[in-house]
Amino acid sequence: MAETPRPVTTLDLLKKKERHEPIVMLTCYDALFARLLDEAGVDILLVGDSVNQVLAGAATTLSATLDQMVYHTTIVRRGSERALVICDLPFLTYQISREDALRNAGRVMQETGCHGVKLEGGQPVAPIVRALVDVGIPVMGHLGLTPQSVHALGGYRVQGRDEKSAERLRADARALEDAGAFAIVLELVPAPLAAEVTGSVTIPTIGIGAGASCDGQVLVLPDMLGLNDRFSPKFLKRYAAMADEVRTAVRAYASDVRERRYPGPDHSFPA
């Protein structure tokens, strides 16, 4: 009988940083993919509010709801045995008050069985991070391009290119570390700045469009698999072309049905 793999913990991630061992993170939204990614050895499954765009077809993450995130995180957790499962807190579930943040993050932890939450922002949300950590909720931060602030940032573009914004990002990273965050996602940040931030904090950084010097990397799963073939940013490397494979398979199935080749004798039950 195969031995159940030991679950990944936040302490394991800190040790990986100390050993310069890269951390692997992917987004995940359902139990089936959770099982496959778990078996492939992914360290962190992020149930991102990107689900609102990737699966629900919305233009941004802003309309993602807490119920939506609880549902998807619950089913991801069912499919995972080893990976650390982290849930994005959606827009306005933590920014309004400390009490709201505690209530909503606590609901996520209680109802989904996940191992922590992720929220966006630096110094302004550091007190919220500290409040969550103080009651035992692990928190992952998110800096750089923060999708919940896409309109304030002027669109989906690289952040930290001028010295003023770069210094703000450095200060934000220090604030999140001081508040007790166990890791920080750096999204669309110039590679030299991401390398500098990574070297300046003791907690792991996870990059997406932030160069190779981060302690780990994350991609949105359907983008990486080539399922979302209409999205082609500079930072994305596709490891499969599954959209083409799905179209080919469905066309073959449709042809077999229309030509009465399926179901055949092998797929039918005798009397």
Say how far apart CA 209 and CA 119 lie, in whole Å.
18
What pLDDT was estimated at residue 3? 66
Q: Is the pLDDT of residue 1 over 60?
A: no
The per-residue pLDDT for 156 is 87
Helices (H), the chain: 10-18, 31-39, 51-54, 66-79, 98-112, 126-134, 163-179, 191-200, 221-224, 242-258
Contact status, residue 84 vs residue 114, Cβ threshold 8 Å: no
Contact (Cβ atoms closer than 8 angstroms) between residue 182 and residue 116: yes
pTM over cut 0.85: yes
Q: Which amino acid is at 144?
A: G
pLDDT at 92 over 60: yes
Take residue 36 and report the two structure tokens written for it.
């496959």
- Mean pLDDT throughout 113-135? 98
Model confidence at 245: pLDDT above 80: yes
Q: How far does CA 22 lie from the centroid of its chain?
A: 16
Going by pLDDT thresholds of 50, 70 and 90, the confidence category of residue 2 is: low
Q: Name the helix (H) or strand (E) containing 28.
A: none
187 is catalytic: yes
The domain locations on the chain are: 10-222, 225-260
Looking at residue 255, its pLDDT comes to 98
Residue 219: left (phi > 0), alpha (psi -120 to 50), or beta? beta
Residue 90 identity (one-letter amino acid): P
In tens, the pLDDT along 138-153 reads 999 999 999 999 888 8
Residues 100-117 have a mean pLDDT of 98
Give yes or no for a contact between 37 and 83, defined as CB atoms under 8 angstroms apart.
Answer: yes
β-strand 116-118 against 44-47: which pairing, if any? unpaired
- Asked whether the predicted pLDDT for residue 80 surpasses 90, the reply is yes
What is residue 154's predicted lDDT score, i.e. its pLDDT?
A: 82
pLDDT band at 111 (very low <50, low <70, confident <90, very high): very high
Percentage of the chain lying above the pLDDT 90 cut? 95
> Cβ distance 76 to 45 under 8 Å?
yes
Catalytic residue among 187, 196, 245, 259: 187
Distances (CA, A) of 25 to 8, 28, 86, 105, 215: 12, 9, 10, 21, 11
- Give the tens place of pLDDT for each residue, 27-79: 999 999 999 999 999 999 999 999 999 999 999 999 999 999 999 999 999 99
| 187-205 mean pLDDT | 98
Does pLDDT of 176 surpass 70?
Answer: yes
The pLDDT-based confidence of 209 (bands split at 50, 70, 90) is very high
Which residue from 195, 49, 171 is spatially nearest to 120, judged by alpha carbons? 49
Q: What are the two backbone dihedrals, phi and then psi, of residue 257, each rounded to the nearest 5 degrees?
A: -65, -45
pLDDT recorded at residue 153? 84
Q: Is the Cβ–Cβ distance between 70 and 112 less than 8 Å?
A: yes
What's the DSSP call for residue 228?
S
Closest CA to 222 of 5, 19, 48: 48
Mean pLDDT, range 117-121, rounded to an integer:
98
> Tokens in use for 95?
């920014």
Average pLDDT of every residue of the chain = 96
Which one has a higher pLDDT value, 219 or 231?
219
* Residue 4 CB contacts under 8 Å (≥ 6 apart), including other chains: 81
pLDDT at 5: 78
The answer on pLDDT for 198 being more than 60 is: yes
pLDDT at residue 146, rounded to an integer: 95
**Is domain 10-222 in CATH 1.20.140.10, yes or no?**
no
